[in-house]
């Protein structure tokens, strides 16, 4: 078995996209880890849809004594307050998202299609419908980055010609960062831009349903 | 003018069977625990609950009152985050007595932002609005669509709760409200949208003690105020004690604190 990137490393790669002064919303799971890897010298204001912008780091497991119920993010994790932070109601939180103020959202996904359709909230036939704010983020953020494992536990592609899971948004994804590759969604199709160390474009293609366009400057993921 | 009510029971006593009630539930902060308990004790039936997050999670009632305790009294659920009881059984391995009741429930799920926007539309007196959220998803099913400036939109309708429960930190007798941190959440939206808004607060203070510049929900949106007895259930002090007791449970910590990437953070 070839080595795949860890969740932390996927998050690190995605976080390289954050530019100085960006407002960024992070989804559950791997996206949430991106907060740990903001590139040095860049200031990012993190946005949570339950009504806070510019919040500090999530408390670590051994910092439980610092927990304050006033400071909980959209994934119900407790965070550190910091200067420059602001609170607002959830209506305004979503106005910020849909109104195009959010520079980047990083979301998890079950599936992404070659056109950038995103499926990330439910499985077919499941009566649970954990839609949350994903649909607003998918169409509202200026840039949608997806972090995900490239294939399912059974080794089947998650990057498909057409999603089979219920959609969060149509043609909304801009960049996909997986445990083996980085792909950009373009009008012409998915462009393979980077591969994980030790992986070739052919090996990534074999685990991806749609035909990938190989970037002329294809390179190893830089970390 | 005096909007102060003597008890939670009195403040909910006129909520009739069949009423719709909006409640905030997104983690620990900002839950109207005492009003929810009072509504359960009153036994009002056929309720429609309008809530941002639904899940009959196995949370001990002593730690946090989950609005899902109203399930036996409900006929309809309107929410943005619906995790069904059977799914929770899978997640936590705890058998659920709620699953059967939940199956009978009429459930309407939409995106979180659209839930807020529909309430806000009702608050603003709009007859509906065109939204780009959920185009090409289940959210557009059965709804009018329209292209504006080359972009597709869905017609969404206003949502006006009969009653709204609002958790705030401080109130004055007029009903001006201030909040603590993310406790604010969905609460100001509920206050603006509901026909009758009932606030549950830590403290009722003299009007001159609230800075007009800092008031988040103006008095016009609030009809009734009930103060939590000092240190009582759901007060800031009580919730802080309980959340720390809750954090001593091992399987809870990874859900609310950071376990991965410790080294990177330090």
Provide the phi-psi class of B263: left if phi over 0, else alpha when psi is between -120 and 50, else beta: alpha
Provide the phi-psi class of A172: left if phi over 0, else alpha when psi is between -120 and 50, else beta: alpha
Give the pLDDT of residue A173. Answer: 98
CA–CA separation, A32 and A75 (whole Å):
9
Asked whether residue A1 is assigned to any structural domain, the reply reads no
Q: Which chain A residues are Cβ-neighbours of B158 within 8 angstroms?
A: none
Per residue in B197-254, pLDDT tens?
Answer: 999 999 999 999 999 999 999 999 999 999 999 999 999 999 999 999 888 888 888 8
Domains of chain B by start residue, with CATH? 8-259 (3.40.1080.10)
CATH number at residue A22: 3.40.1080.10
Q: How many domains does chain A have?
A: 1
Res. B169: pLDDT tops 90: yes
CA–CA separation, A55 and A40 (whole Å):
18
Q: What is the mean pLDDT of residues B101-128?
A: 94
Is this prediction's pTM over 0.90?
A: yes
**Residue A122 distance to chain B (closest CA, Å):** 10
Per residue in B172-201, pLDDT tens?
Answer: 999 999 999 999 999 999 999 999 999 999
Give the pLDDT of residue B139. Answer: 93
Question: Which of B107, B117, B181 is facing A70, going by the closest CB pair?
Answer: B181
Tokens of B213: 């510049």
CA–CA separation, B64 and A37 (whole Å):
34
**Residue B170 distance to chain A (closest CA, Å):** 14
Asked whether residue A89 is assigned to any structural domain, the reply reads yes
Q: What is the mean pLDDT of residues B246-263?
A: 82
ipTM of the complex: 0.95
CA distances for A18 relative to A43, A104, A109, A223, angstroms: 9, 8, 20, 14
Asked whether residue A22 is assigned to any structural domain, the reply reads yes
Question: Which of B84, B183, B261 is facing A33, going by the closest CB pair?
Answer: B261
Assess B143–A contact: CB distance below 8 Å, yes or no: no
Asked whether residue A158 is assigned to any structural domain, the reply reads yes
Q: Which domain holds residue A65?
A: 7-220
Angle between the N-to-C axes of helices A90-98 and B112-124, in degrees from 0 to 180, rounded to the nearest 10:
110
Asked whether residue A2 is assigned to any structural domain, the reply reads no
**Residue B88 distance to chain A (closest CA, Å):** 10
Which residues, other chains included, contact A43 with Cβ-Cβ below 8 Å and sequence gap of 6+? Answer: A20, A21
Catalytic residue among A3, A7, A17, A49: A49
Give the model's confidence band at B86: pLDDT under 50 very low, under 70 low, under 90 confident, else very high: low
Res. B94: pLDDT tops 60: no
Asked whether residue A20 is assigned to any structural domain, the reply reads yes
Closest by CA position to B101, among listed B130, B123, B121, B72: B72
Cβ contacts below 8 Å, chain A against chain B, sum to 192
Mean pLDDT of all residues belonging to chain A:
96
Per residue in B1-31, pLDDT tens?
Answer: 889 999 999 999 999 999 999 999 988 889 9
Which residues, other chains included, contact B163 with Cβ-Cβ below 8 Å and sequence gap of 6+? Answer: B12, B15, B19, B20, B21, B22, B194, B195, B196, B197, B198
Q: Report strand pairing: A143-148 vs A175-178.
A: parallel
């Amino acid at each position: 078995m070839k080595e795949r990137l860890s969740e932390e490393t996927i998050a690190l790669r995605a976080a390289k996209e954050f530019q100085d002064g960006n407002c960024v919303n992070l989804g559950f799971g791997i996206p949430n880890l991106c907060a740990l890897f903001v590139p040095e010298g860049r200031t990012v204001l993190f946005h949570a849809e339950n009504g806070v912008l510019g919040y500090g780091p999530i408390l670590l497991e051994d910092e439980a004594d610092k927990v304050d119920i006033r400071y909980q993010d959209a994934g119900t994790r407790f965070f550190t307050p910091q200067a420059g932070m602001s609170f607002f109601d959830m209506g305004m939180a979503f106005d910020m998202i849909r109104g195009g103020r959010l520079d980047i959202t990083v979301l998890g996904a079950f599936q992404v299609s070659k056109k950038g359709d995103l499926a990330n909230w439910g499985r077919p036939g499941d009566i649970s419908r954990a839609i949350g704010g994903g649909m607003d983020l998918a169409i509202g953020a200026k840039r949608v980055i997806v972090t995900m494992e490239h294939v399912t536990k059974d080794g089947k592609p998650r990057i498909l010609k057409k999603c089979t899971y219920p959609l969060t948004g149509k043609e909304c994804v801009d960049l996909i960062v997986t445990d083996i590759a980085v792909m950009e969604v373009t009008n012409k199709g998915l462009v393979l831009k980077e591969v994980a160390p030790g992986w070739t474009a052919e090996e990534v293609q074999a685990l991806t349903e749609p035909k990938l366009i190989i970037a002329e400057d294809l390179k190893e993921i830089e970390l | 003018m005096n909007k102060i009510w003597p008890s939670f029971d009195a403040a909910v006593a006129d909520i009739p069977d069949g009423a719709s009630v909006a409640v905030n539930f997104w983690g620990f902060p900002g839950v109207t625990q005492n009003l929810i308990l009072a509504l359960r004790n009153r036994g009002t039936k056929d309720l429609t609950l309008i809530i941002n997050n639904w899940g009959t999670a196995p949370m001990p009632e002593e730690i946090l009152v989950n609005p899902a305790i109203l399930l036996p009294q409900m006929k309809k659920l309107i929410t943005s985050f619906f995790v069904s009881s059977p799914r929770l059984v899978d997640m936590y391995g705890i058998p659920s007595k709620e699953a059967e009741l939940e199956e009978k429930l009429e459930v309407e799920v939409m995106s979180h932002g659209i839930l807020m926007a529909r309430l806000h539309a009702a608050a603003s007196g709009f007859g509906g609005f065109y939204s780009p959220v959920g185009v090409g998803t289940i959210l557009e099913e059965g709804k009018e669509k329209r292209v504006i400036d080359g972009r597709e939109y869905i017609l969404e309708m206003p949502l006006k709760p009969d009653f709204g429960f609002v958790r705030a930190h401080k109130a004055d007798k007029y009903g001006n409200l201030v909040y603590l941190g993310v406790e604010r959440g969905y609460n100001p939206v509920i206050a603006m949208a509901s026909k009758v808004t009932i606030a549950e607060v830590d403290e009722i203070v003299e009007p001159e003690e609230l800075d007009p510049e800092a008031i988040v929900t103006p008095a016009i949106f609030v009809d009734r105020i009930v103060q939590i007895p000092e240190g009582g259930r759901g007060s800031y002090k009580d919730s802080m004690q309980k959340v720390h007791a809750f954090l001593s449970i091992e399987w809870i910590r990874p859900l609310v604190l950071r376990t991965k990437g410790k080294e990177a953070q330090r």
